[in-house]
Structure 1
Amino acid sequence: MKIQLWSIGKEHDSYIQEGMALFQKRLKHYTDFELKLIPPVKQAASLSTAELKKQEGKLILDLLQPNDFLVALDEYGKSYTTVQLADFLQQRLNSGTRQLVLLIGGAFGIDQAVLQRAHLKLSLSALTFPHQLVRLIMLEQLYRAFTVINHEKYHHQ
């Protein structure tokens, strides 16, 4: 299964790049992983929030393939423990999912059309984090979940 982490936004600050590189390298032992940064919408500052989300949603929907399993990171989504995330990944592996897309939306969230397309809405926390930090957290959690699946000692229960 290929896992892609999609995020609308800019390149990573240097303090994030180091951590991301570490977990991307570690993830390669378990799965095919790719980070895809979707460039921000042009003249975003001149758009209403609703119009910005709509344009971001169109970009995302145009990039998705029909068989992609989409997980939208959304503040109103389900909360998983690390073990539940590992179980979810194992289920996707067992079901033959070819590509799993984890989506971090823009600054104002994810357009309703994209949320309707999502197979799962997942919340990382009730707290609000910077998008770059969410990328790093998600990478670490993916790595942690794969160590759980493989009965390795990284995650302590």
Structure 2
Amino acid sequence: MKITVITVGKIKEKYLKDAIAEYSKRLSRYCKLEILEVADEKTPDGASEIVEENIREKEGERILKLIKEDAYVITLEISGKMLTSEELADRIETLGIQGKSHLVFVIGGSIGLGREVLRRSDYALSFSKMTFPHQLMRVILLEQIYRSYRIINGEPYHK
């Protein structure tokens, strides 16, 4: 299976880059992983809802250009469905059995995802009702995908 993670913005912190590299290496046993970054827009302090919506739409256009038509798209959203690690593993395994060979996970920027990206989404996934920095969310997502493959393959994982 091919897994693509599309994210808004670059990772600047070395400790996050190291964690992403480690999980990418671990995942290479289980799937073909690619991480694609799109440029983020500067959000002025105190931006109006209209300005924020325009920013989300610009970032969304960049995201949508990277999504292939046959991909199954999972957007990370606070309002999405929360799953246990076992349920996420089951979802990934079921999608593979159903013939979905390319999963795309989308992590928005600091003010979220645009309407068109949300419309393209096949599944809205939430990790928590809390807000996480999108850079850290990349690490959390990769760890959970790795954990999913460990579960799918009946391999031990930390509970």
Which band: TM-score by shorter chain? over 0.9
- The equivalent position to 1:139 in structure 2, one of 123, 136, 142, is 142
Distance (whole Å) between structure 1 residues aligned to residue 108 and residue 14 of structure 2: 21
The answer to whether 1:55 aligns with 2:84 is: no
The answer to whether 1:18 aligns with 2:18 is: yes
TM-score by length of 2: 0.92
Find the counterpart in structure 1 of residue 28 from structure 2.
Answer: 28
Of residues 129-138 and 11-20 in structure 1, the stretch that sits farther from structure 2 once superposed is 11-20
Change (3 A) 1:97 1:12: farther
The answer to whether 1:151 aligns with 2:157 is: no
Q: CA deviation at 1:98?
A: 2.2
Letter in 1 for 2:91: F
Find the counterpart in structure 1 of residue 104 from structure 2.
Answer: 101
Distance (whole Å) between structure 2 residues aligned to residue 110 and residue 96 of structure 1: 27
The alignment-based identity, stated in percent, is 35
| Alignment size in residue pairs | 155
Contact 2:9 2:40 in 1 (8 A): yes
What are the equivalent positions in structure 2 for 1:75-94 lying under 5 Å apart? 75-94=78-97
Contact 2:39 2:59 in 1 (8 A): no
Structure 1 runs (4+) greater than 4 angstroms displaced: none
Letter in 2 for 1:66: E
Runs of 5+ unmatched residues, structure 2:
none
RMSD: 1.5
Distance (whole Å) between structure 1 residues aligned to residue 66 and residue 4 of structure 2: 12
Runs of 5+ unmatched residues, structure 1:
none
